[in-house]
Structure 1
Amino acid sequence: MIRLALLLWLVAALPARGAEVEAMLGSAAPDAPTVTLRTTTDFHVLAPVLEAFLATEPALRLRYEQWGSNDLLALSRAECAAGRAGADLVISSAIHHMVALVNAGCARPHASAETAALEPDLSWRGELFGIPREPVVMVYNRTLLSPEEVPQSRFDLLDLMRPDESKFRGRVATYDIEESGLGFLLAFSDSLEATTFGSLLEGFGASDAVATCCSAEIIEGVIRGDYVLAYNVLGSYALGLAESEPRLGIVAPSDYTMLLSRAAMIPRGSDAPDPAARLLDFLLSAPGRRHLARARLWVDLDDREGDILEVPPDTSAASRTIPLSLAMLVAMDAQTRAAFVENWRTAFPVE
């Protein structure tokens, strides 16, 4: 049972130092040890998981800060360069940012039974760890598209956007890659994976697709009918809303479905590395994964999701994991990024 009603104090949606949301959970004792978590994950999604951890640590206080991925990178870099850390645990969906921070010496090593049990692609250098695993999906409005009009792959989406009178014209949304670090990562990963990427950009441009921010806003736009479909959306947010929103349909693309694990590190210079390590280990543990699964932050495509998530029949062939690895630094190279953004802007010019 969610303990929100039992929390002793909570301050939400009050920006502080650039944070989009700040909350205090757990003990209200004046001398309670405090662990600070900075993350790109929406508070309402992650809060039940944090409450489950705090149930095992009743004397602990947890400060939660929700950040945009680009701002979180900038702050983490600045603090690392200054030799201090304002956070004790950092979790971001923009895993290329996290690889860059670890590569710059900004992380503290951590080893435990939980980290040792991780799959190889969920751990890097003993300093960066993949927490959940979720699909990157297409979402659509069930009231605006008939079953026959729902694209099951990128090839289908291209075909549907082509006609001059297509109902998709001006009503397909995706991330703005300059505003969203996650959006850049997903688009860049697409460009490495898909033979369709160049055609997708052309299709987006020709059909007046919309580049905007962010996951929650894009999905809400689909539900309202502002968009008939959104491309490259994190599955956790969509799956959570679809449980109570019949207008929202979700497709794991059949040509391939990218799988993303949000990356976590304990910053070098953390003031509370021990409770941060316990929180990290909880998130990596079997009980933690069960709570992450309930929050839709851990999705196993082989388990299926009933009518909520439309999954391709052969997930082993269709799944593509975005790795925690040095390869992610390619996405951080300034020249590579500039060239990629310039190419992207042919489809989404700045107005």
Structure 2
Amino acid sequence: MTGIGKWVRPIALWAATAAAASAEPEAVKIYGSEAVRDEIVVRSTTDIELLEPLLRAFAASAPQSLVRYEQWNSNPLYADAARACRTGANAADLVISSAVDQQVKLVNDGCAQPHWPVADEPGTGPVANWRNEVFGITVEPAVIVYNSDFVTFDEAPMSRFDIIDLLRPTESRFAGRVATYDIQASGLGYLFAFLDSQQATTFGSMIEAFARAGAVATCCSAEIIDGVADGRYLIAYNVLGSYALNRAETADNLVVVAPSDYTLILRRAALIPKDAGNPAGAAQLLDFILSAEGRRLLAEKHLFVDVGNAEEGGVDVPLATGAAVREIPLSPVLLVGLDRQKRAAFIDLWRSTFRRD
């Protein structure tokens, strides 16, 4: 029986305490024939529906392979990969995560094996590939999203400075209605926030404004964006443009903004663990993802986002003229934020600033 796209089982996310995260995937789906023994186990933070067209196409092009796709949250995925690296047990064949700093750490700790792509089409150099062991497979901006039913054009935040101004009045109607990631629960949220703290002159003012106005820290991309679409939040800050653009296809009131002061660009990172049971299958799938066809299928789900000058037209997310685009490199520079003491201090600052939803 052919089981392309067959659901195996949804798995409820659980937490023993507020700080604990699931040690299991949120959901699992099979692509390919169940009669095939050449199984490729993929553990990824990407929502299944976003990668489904690509996984279906790969299964059709590689009938000898079956893909078991497991959707995880970023922190438990990293913990699982690190444990597999230490023990050699139950390793995935391919690990894909938006928390690219965690992926770089896995490579730095000797947890990945090298691969030389058939076609390294996304680009060359440290942004797209580090040591031929971790590969940037997408192009996704960190964006601001707002609900146009409740936020007028004149109020619409185009930058971090605008968000600060909206939250500054004592009786701001945006109080308690601005949301971003809970960095304690989201590896991606932590990465974006830490990079802001290093790069943005506005970071101190943003933290003060968030604290004063009761901004909400919550999880995760889909939940935050859905909250804006239904009016529970008016603005979302630092969410992934891919999720926002996909949701905007069915929510006319969602507006996606590339911040005009600077826009961070993330390349979701893929690696083949050193103890992968099927590294050849993982390499075949990775090559398909990196191919022109793979990129086309990723772009259909806004995982390859065109961020460009608003005057040029034809871009997914217009960027103000002269605004900076800052690529997040796949390199050891990302390890700074994972230093235990720095991370603990930063999370303490965040915890004291936000109410958690």
Give the TM-score band, short-chain normalised.
Answer: over 0.9
Q: State the AA in 2 paired with 1:70.
A: N
Count of residue pairs brought into register by the alignment: 345
Residues 229-240 of structure 1 mapped to structure 2, 5 A cutoff: 229-240=235-246
Any gaps of 5 or more consecutive residues in structure 1? none
SS for the counterpart of 1:27 is coil
Q: Is the 8 A contact 2:181 2:189 kept in 1?
A: yes
2-structure distance, mates of 1:118, 1:155: 32
Give CA-to-partner distance per residue, 1:10-69, whole Å, 9 cap, x none.
32523596110111111121x431100000000111111111211211221100101110
Q: Could you tell me which residue of structure 1 aligns to residue 138 of structure 2?
A: 132
Name the CA shift for 1:59/1:149 in 2 (closer, same or farther; >3 Å). Answer: same
One of 48, 55, 58 as aligned partner of 1:53: 58
Residue 252 (1) aligns with residue 258 (2)? yes
One of 320, 332, 348 as aligned partner of 1:342: 348
Residue 88 (1) aligns with residue 93 (2)? yes
Cα RMSD (Å): 2.2
Q: Could you tell me which residue of structure 2 aligns to residue 200 of structure 1?
A: 206
Name the CA shift for 1:154/1:167 in 2 (closer, same or farther; >3 Å). Answer: same
The normalised TM-score by structure 2 is 0.91
Q: State the AA in 1 paired with 2:265.
A: L
Residue 9 (1) aligns with residue 6 (2)? yes
Give CA-to-partner distance per residue, 1:266-322, whole Å, 9 cap, x none.
00111111110011011111111111100110112138797995522336x420111
SS for the counterpart of 2:53 is helix
Measured after TM superposition, the shift of residue 202 of structure 1 is 0.3
One of 276, 284, 293 as aligned partner of 2:282: 276
Q: Is the 8 A contact 2:121 2:292 kept in 1?
A: no
One of 317, 320, 334 as aligned partner of 1:313: 320
2-structure distance, mates of 1:293, 1:307: 14
Q: State the AA in 1 paired with 2:8.
A: V
Q: Could you tell me which residue of structure 1 aligns to residue 172 of structure 2?
A: 166
2-structure distance, mates of 1:8, 1:228: 35
Q: Could you tell me which residue of structure 2 aligns to residue 64 of structure 1?
A: 69
Q: State the AA in 1 paired with 2:103.
A: M
Measured after TM superposition, the shift of residue 86 of structure 1 is 2.5
Give CA-to-partner distance per residue, 1:109-146, whole Å, 9 cap, x none.
10133238732111001101000011110111110011
Q: Is the 8 A contact 1:215 1:237 kept in 2?
A: yes
Q: More helix by proportion, 1 or 2?
A: 1
Segment drifting more, 255-264 vs 44-53: 44-53
Name the CA shift for 1:129/1:167 in 2 (closer, same or farther; >3 Å). Answer: same
Q: State the AA in 2 paired with 1:312.
A: L
Q: State the AA in 1 paired with 2:54.
A: V
Q: Could you tell me which residue of structure 1 aligns to residue 30 of structure 2?
A: 24
Segment drifting more, 284-293 vs 108-117: 108-117
Residue 185 (1) aligns with residue 182 (2)? no
2-structure distance, mates of 1:309, 1:237: 13
1-structure distance, mates of 2:301, 2:262: 24
